[in-house]
Amino acid sequence: MSVQRTSAQQASAQQMFAQQRGNGSRIVAGVDGSPSSLSALQWAVGQAGLTGATVEAVIAWHYPVAVGGYGYTPVDMTQAGGDFKEIAEKIVADAISNTAGQGGDVRLQARVAEGNPAQVLLDAAAGADLLVVGSRGHGGFTEALLGSVSQHCVHHAPCPVVIIRGEPRESS
């Protein structure tokens, strides 16, 4: 016996599942402004639309550590006068505003925290149903398939982790 569902039946089943899960479900998405983190946020919003979860977009910031007088600072940080928390708030707010319309009724929240990005994400993922991160952020090893933050999250997260590769989709 073959079972086939129409799109309407699938949508109805997804809505029923979302209602059963209620508002307690939470998906954490790591955001750093990189293309893969924006793709991760888009995916998290799409998943939240199917499950009724809230998406928490999380960004970490910290003061750069100079080694031998030189430290790596992303271009945006130096141009804005060095208010790292303010810059992080703007990055996550822009990411949410660019993604919010794609999720319909999905609730999005921002969390900005000082600290190591991997640890901030792990802390935010405590009690979450899912952690979604991009495969690569702004790190220096562009040939790597998996960035250090996403790799650390895969090994230490208290919940399932989804890693998204690639550029964000254009909204239609």
Is residue 8 in some structural domain? no
Is residue 169 in some structural domain? no
Is residue 125 in some structural domain? yes
Rounded Cα–Cα distance for residues 41 and 157 (Å): 18
With a pLDDT cut of 70, the percent of the chain lying above it is 66
pLDDT-based confidence at residue 162 (cuts at 50, 70, 90): very high
CATH of the domain at 100: 3.40.50.620
**Number of compact structural domains in the chain:** 1
Residue 68 is predicted with a pLDDT of: 53
Is residue 63 in some structural domain? yes
Is residue 108 in some structural domain? yes
Is residue 130 in some structural domain? yes
pLDDT digits (tens, 9 = 90+) for 43-59: 999 999 999 999 999 99
Containing domain of residue 134, as a range?
A: 20-164
pLDDT digits (tens, 9 = 90+) for 113-159: 999 999 999 999 999 999 999 987 555 444 445 678 999 999 999 99
Is residue 44 in some structural domain? yes
Q: Rg of the chain over CA atoms, in angstroms?
A: 17
Is residue 149 in some structural domain? yes
